[in-house]
Structure formats: C-alpha cells, structure tokens
Structure 1
Amino acid sequence: MKMFLAAASLAAAASLCAQAASAQTRVDPLDLSVTLTPTLATDYLFRGISQTRNRPAAQLTFEALHDSGFYVGAFLSNVAFAGTNARQEVDALAGYRFQMLDINWDVGAIYYSYPGSRRLAPGAYNIDYIEGAVKASRAVGPATLSAAVNLSPNYFGQSGTGVYLEGGVDLALPLGFTASGRLGYQWIEHEPRFGTPDYLWYSVGAAHDIPGGVTLAVGYYGTDIHQRDCGGGQKICDERVLFTVSRKF
C-alpha cells in the first residue's frame, strides 16, 4: 500500500509539491544535479490510501541526476500499518530519463522497504516489494500531460502480481499557481492478502510557491473502495483533503 516517487513517487502528495519547486545543488565535477526535499503532510497517501492511518507524516526525498539522464534516489517516511510494527518506509530507486518523439520518458525501478516489518512473527507476509515503472509526459501549451505504468512481480504483502496505471495533468495558472489532477487504477492478483479489491483512485489539487522557496499544496483525494472492503473496515481508503508544505534544496 504505497507510491512510486514519480518516478519517484513519491507520493501523490510529493508529486504536487515537487512540480512547483526548482531549487537544486549542482556538483559540476561529477555532472550531477542533487536535490533534497523535506516535506510535512497531514497524511501520507499512496495511490489514494493512507499509509499512516490518517495521521501526519514527515518525509524526505533525495535525488541525484546525472547529465546523461541516469538518476538514483531515496524516499523516507513514517508509516503505520494495522497488524504490523513497521514504523518507517525507506525506498530506493534508480532510472533513466530521456526524450524521444517529443515525449519525456522516465524508465526505472523502485524498491519499497519497511525495516520494522522484519520483526514480525514467523509466517507473516513480507511487505517489502519492488516495482518497475515507465512514465511519459508531454507539455501541451500551459498543460503537461502524463501517463505511467508500474509493474510488481509480488506486490505489497506478497499479494502477487500488481499492475498500476495512472494518467495526470498539471496546468500552469496565473499568479504562479499550478493545478493538478490524477486518476489511477491498481490491479492486485491476491486481493485478500493486500486488504482491498482492485480499485480506482483520484485527486485534484493546487500548489503555490511562497517566499523562501517553500511550496504549499492542497489536494482532494478519494478511492472507490467501500469501508467494509478496506483492510477489514479501516477508514484509510476514505475521501480526504491533504495539505503539504515542502522546501526543495
């Protein structure tokens, strides 16, 4: 139950914040551009589902991008899953970005890990997993259209093959605002192990930079999962408003 860091994912909240910030550190001898983004959020939503059981999240995103297009990165966040003692998520990712046919491509892989989950009792499902991801985007006037597909051979909770599709649009507005919309669908081979049926999620939001390089964002998120089908009746799949504040260095 969690997010590709859009490529890097990260997170549906992180995608709203990162698009509006532009600061980075240049390491010329290595031809690298390095970014570090701390984020505070009212929740950690991954594909529409809360990863913190509706509680606030403190997150950190790191990326080192080479001039060739290759990159590596990491994402850290607090989490809270019912039935596990995992308290942290630590993701590692790597990939390659390039342009072809006037389309920007991002091809990579993400390893999602939850260190605390390794202390679970014998026989419990492993919640660490890996995904391959392909993302394409193209600017059309003031809008940027995007599409992504993620594939995991053994998704969260050893739930078998997981396939995820997403479409999105980011729209530059007057006064420095950016509006965003996302629509995604997650297929899960073994739904009972994951805790929900296959589902659709959506979001609409806006972001804006304020003095000091800080980005404020707000979004409305929801899924088509009924509460009775959400992890044994949890409220982590409900509709909600998400607020985030971030600063990219």
Structure 2
Amino acid sequence: MNRPQWLIGALLACAPLPPALAVELSQDFALQIDAALLSDYRTRGISQTQGDPAAQLGLTLQHASGPYLGAWTSNVDYGYDYKTRQEMDYYVGWYWQANDDVALDLGYLKYSYPKESQFNQSDVYAILHAYGFELAAYYGDDYPTYFGEKQSNLYTYLAYNAELPAEFQLRVRYGRNDAKDPLYLSGGEDTRDTYHEWEVKLGHELVGLDWAVSYIDTDLSRYECLNNFGFKDACTATVVASVAKSF
C-alpha cells in the first residue's frame, strides 16, 4: 500500500476539541493529552501505514474562553524510497459552545512530514456540532500533486454520534474528498476529481481505556487506488481496532 501523500491530507485521528478530561494548569488553562494505538492509521479512508499499526500522541493547550493550540504526531509508512516515518501536525483554533448541544470549532491545521517536505500541506477547517451531529469542512490550497504543482482540495463530512445501551458509543461518518483536478485515474482513460469514504465505529470504555473497532471503506476502485496511491489495497474496506486514553 505504499504511495506518496498526494491529496490525502491527513485528517487528525482525534479532531481538536476541548476535552472532557484534561490536566488543569490554572483557573483558565488546561492541557489535554491524547494517546492511541491503532491496527491501521487511516485518514479520509486511505491507509497511511501500509496496513500496519500506528502509535499516536496529541497535546492540546486550551483557554477557558475558547482558544486552543496543539500538536499531534503518528508514525507513517509510504514505502518506496520515501524517508519520512512520521507525520507532525500543528493546529490552532477557537471552540465556541452555545449550549450543551451546539458548538462550533474553527481552526488552522498544518501537516508536516520530516525528510519529505514536498508532502507538507495545510487546511483551514470548520466543524459544527449539533445534537449529536457533526458537519465539517477542511479546505487547503497548497496540496501537492504528481503534476509537481500545488492545488486546492476540499474535504467535507457528516457524522452522527449516539449513546447505545450498556454504555457503548456509536459513530457513523460519511465523507467526500474533492480535488481541483481530475486526479483519480481508473484502469481505462476515465478520471474523476472526487471520491467518497465512510466509517462505522463502535466504542466502549473499559478499565479506564477507550476501546473501539471501525469499519472503513471508500468508493475508489482498486485501479484508481493503484494509480494514485501506489497499491490496490490502500483504499479498500478494512476493520481497524484501537485503544485510546485522554488525560
């Protein structure tokens, strides 16, 4: 599943949000620490680790009035002769909560890849939370392509989070990735600039840890996946298991 990072634009495994649990630094400041182990690191439906496990860590400093900033990292593996083995993301944003059911998250996110800076890119994002639903948009105009030029890209998703019996949590998400140019090449001469991806995630807290299993898939064909990401199975359906902890 080796492939360059064209158009993937890693979406944070845990989008920056004010935490339910955090280390209180003062009356106004708190620090959230997020750690996770996953059987595969997928973002926007595409594997970033060739189907191998990933270890991830995030730090978010928040102010009680809403502003926050942080950093997040994960191991990656794009194979071939690509030297980077790490993704480093930096973000700054503002979280406004209208009430217990409605909130808005606005921010800027920079993705960087040590030793392979040609993959670096950035997004501005907006996430609306309302009564269990999430509507999000990530937009960047500096995405690298195999043409050697930068282009714009818009990723949007709609998600729903629900509490199930026995304290299980369900998350369902459907996303759309829209590139400026028709970069997704099929086995023939057909091209398109958009693909869709989706996830169904079931989680449960046990012994102080957040355990989850996800089903993830895209509508990219095996040929489109091969032509754009280097391997046929980088975009195919998979089950991802994870365990996480927030402090």
TM range (shorter): 0.7 to 0.9
Partner of 1:187: 178
Distance across 2 between alignment mates of 1:161 and 1:39: 30
User: 1:198 aligned to 2:194?
Assistant: yes
Question: Aligned residues, how many?
Answer: 226
Question: Is the contact between residue 40 and residue 57 of structure 1 (CA under 8 Å) also seen in structure 2?
Answer: yes
CA positional deviation for 1:159? 4.7
Using the size of structure 2 for normalisation, the TM-score is 0.84
Partner of 1:148: 136
Distance across 2 between alignment mates of 1:107 and 1:245: 27
* Deviates further, 224-233 or 162-171: 224-233
Distance across 1 between alignment mates of 2:231 and 2:164: 39
Question: Is the contact between residue 152 and residue 179 of structure 2 (CA under 8 Å) also seen in structure 1?
Answer: yes
Partner of 1:43: 40
Matching residue's letter, 2:140: S
User: 1:219 aligned to 2:214?
Assistant: yes
Distance across 2 between alignment mates of 1:224 and 1:116: 31
Higher helix share: 1
CA positional deviation for 1:116? 2.1
User: 1:137 aligned to 2:129?
Assistant: yes
Query: Structure 1's 194 and 103: CA in aligned 2 closer, same or farther, altered over 3 A?
Result: farther
CA positional deviation for 1:132? 0.2
User: 1:74 aligned to 2:66?
Assistant: no
Distance across 2 between alignment mates of 1:66 and 1:2: 27
RMSD in angstroms over aligned alpha carbons?
2.4
Partner of 2:3: none
CA positional deviation for 1:193? 9.1
Q: What does the per-residue CA deviation read over 1:174-199, in whole Å, with 9 as the maximum and x for residues that have no partner?
A: 22110010000001123549998521
Question: Is the contact between residue 159 and residue 190 of structure 1 (CA under 8 Å) also seen in structure 2?
Answer: no
SS of residue paired to 1:219: strand
Partner of 1:229: 224
User: 1:163 aligned to 2:154?
Assistant: yes
Question: Is the contact between residue 104 and residue 127 of structure 2 (CA under 8 Å) also seen in structure 1?
Answer: yes
User: 1:244 aligned to 2:230?
Assistant: no
Distance across 1 between alignment mates of 2:222 and 2:78: 16
The aligned runs of 1:79-94 (5 Å cut-off) are 79-83=76-80, 84-94=82-92
Distance across 2 between alignment mates of 1:216 and 1:181: 16
Identify unmatched segments of 5+ residues in structure 1: 5-9, 119-125
Matching residue's letter, 2:201: G
Identify unmatched segments of 5+ residues in structure 2: 1-7, 187-191
Matching residue's letter, 1:227: R
Q: What does the per-residue CA deviation read over 1:51-89, in whole Å, with 9 as the maximum and x for residues that have no partner?
A: 111111011011111001000011100111244222100
Query: Structure 1's 62 and 156: CA in aligned 2 closer, same or farther, altered over 3 A?
Result: farther
Distance across 2 between alignment mates of 1:236 and 1:166: 20
